[in-house]
Amino acid sequence: MYDSNASPSIASGVLGRGARPTAVDDPAVELAHALRARYGHLDAAPLLETMIQREFAGSIALVSAFGAESVVLLDLVSAADRATPVIFLDTGKLFAETLTYRDELAAFLGLEDVRTARPEPAALAAADPGGDLWRPDADACCHIRKVAPLADALDPFDAWITGRKRYQGGERTALETIEAAGGRIKINPLAHWSRDAVERHIASRGLPRHPLADAGYRSIGCRPCTRRAGTHEGPRAGRWDGSAKTECGIHRSGWMQSAPHGPT
């Protein structure tokens, strides 16, 4: 087992709270390089233990959609520390099954700090008074309902954890386990996991699945922009059907755009 106490913390004191720098003067970029050099070889569980308990103790959160595969990362984070903050984005357009699953899964895993982030009512009234902005402009809808609320929710943290994986394709195929993004460190502990590994973990741990996963939904987001997908389709099929859109924007917006990886 990897002993994270064998060497001093790298991240302590490097990232300050408050205004986030641009990529040009972002101290998180150099920090990400150093963290990858020391911890880039670790699998998900020891990596999470090190980031949560040592490098970013008290300043790291998991961002989870409580979607089709979210239970794996939630399980691993709960094993590292059940008090780790979990940020859930309630866009106001989610499936009722997702909201129920969030509550049931949080209780099942003993999660102690699930925080729900919602869009600002005034912003919705100004930009989406009819609640149908997703029809003409899905990017704008995602921004007001996901990107902006997440920016506020992450304000107290120096690092955050995501469940993205390389096998999901698109912009995720070159994903690193540790990145710099918008003045923060972003941890992707499942980046190198295969779909089979995800399924094996769910089965071996007896973890409850999202109810829509067995109903043909391979990737589960907001109700208007998610459809069932065929078994022959990709892992994120069914999202924003009929458009070129493949990401909601929380991993692409300027305030958290990943900086170049640089040396490892």
CB contact at 8 A, 198 and 166:
no
Per-residue pLDDT in tens (0 to 9) along the chain, 264 residues = 455 555 667 877 667 554 455 545 678 889 999 999 999 999 999 999 999 999 999 999 999 999 999 999 999 999 999 999 999 999 999 999 999 999 999 999 999 999 999 999 999 999 999 999 988 988 899 899 999 999 999 999 999 999 988 987 677 787 899 999 888 999 999 999 999 999 999 999 999 999 998 888 888 888 888 877 656 655 555 665 656 555 555 655 454 444 333 333
- The catalytic residues are 248
The model's pTM? 0.84
In order of start, what are the domains of the chain with their CATH numbers?
21-256 (3.40.50.620)
